[in-house]
Structure 1
């Protein structure tokens, strides 16, 4: 399944350091990893939030095995297209093990 994630420069640097194959561990104040289900929602966050807070926002795209994602509910957190998974931080290593291919940057906003 294709997912997207808006991210800032610090997180993207850690993804790059992994060879584009893993999301970094969450910080203590970040108990949930939030990948989103569509590029438009990821773009909105990258452009409107990441740029405001760090000067640059990136939209990433990645593939995850559906069998892994089937354990989690999709959460609608706004309009009809504002959809995301809530993956607990302790499950992030398993999510990374279920990535198919690499994490790609598909857009950059400044």
Structure 2
């Protein structure tokens, strides 16, 4: 089975929920979030995490880049959406399909980069704090 890497930039709240799942799944979308959008390349995920997540108070000014693998045939079920520059490619997974999408993730969700915004002060989650110390951008 051929797998394809996908990336997802997340803030602190979503990262804590991923930790709580044992690095196995992404949390359900909120009612105002109609899609789950993993991105197709690390550079775009890093751009979002660094430029957007680190300026977001709701995400505690933290940006994490996660990486995970899905079977190629799953990836092929969704149309790639370009939302800006040439590398701004995403998959749009309807929120109601996220649970099934989580079930086909191969292995664990990895954290490959952490970006810390200027207004970040601290996290109350010890596991997240340890993760932040061990991952470099």
Structure whose alpha-carbon radius of gyration is higher: 2
62-71 or 17-26, which moves further after superposition? 62-71
Aligned counterpart, 2:23: 20
SS in 2 for 1:10: helix
Equivalent residue, structure 2, for 1:41: 44
The answer to whether residue 69 in structure 2 is matched with residue 63 in structure 1 is: yes
Distance in structure 1 (CA, Å) of the matches to 2:62 and 2:82: 26
Corresponding position: 1:30 with 2:14: no
Matched, 1:97 2:111: no
For the aligned residues, what is the CA RMSD?
Answer: 0.7
- Unaligned runs of 5+ residues in structure 2 are 117-137
- Are 1:5 and 2:11 counterparts? no
Report 1 or 2 for greater relative contact order, CA contacts < 8 Å, sequence distance ≥ 6: 1
Rounded Cα–Cα distance in structure 2 between residues aligned with 1:82 and 1:6:
13
Q: After alignment, is 36-45 or 61-70 more displaced? A: 61-70
1:68 Cα deviation after fit? 1.5
SS class of match (2:64): strand
Tell me the number of residue pairs that the alignment of Structure 1 and Structure 2 aligns.
110
Deviations 1:25-60 (A, max 9, x none): 000011100100000000000000000003110000
- CA displacement 1:54-88 (0-9 Å, x = unmatched): 31100000001121121110011111111000000
CA distance in 1, matches of 2:98, 2:20: 17
State the TM-score, normalized to the length of structure 1.
0.97
- TM-score w.r.t. the length of structure 2 is 0.79
Q: Which runs of 4+ in 1 moved over 6 A?
A: none
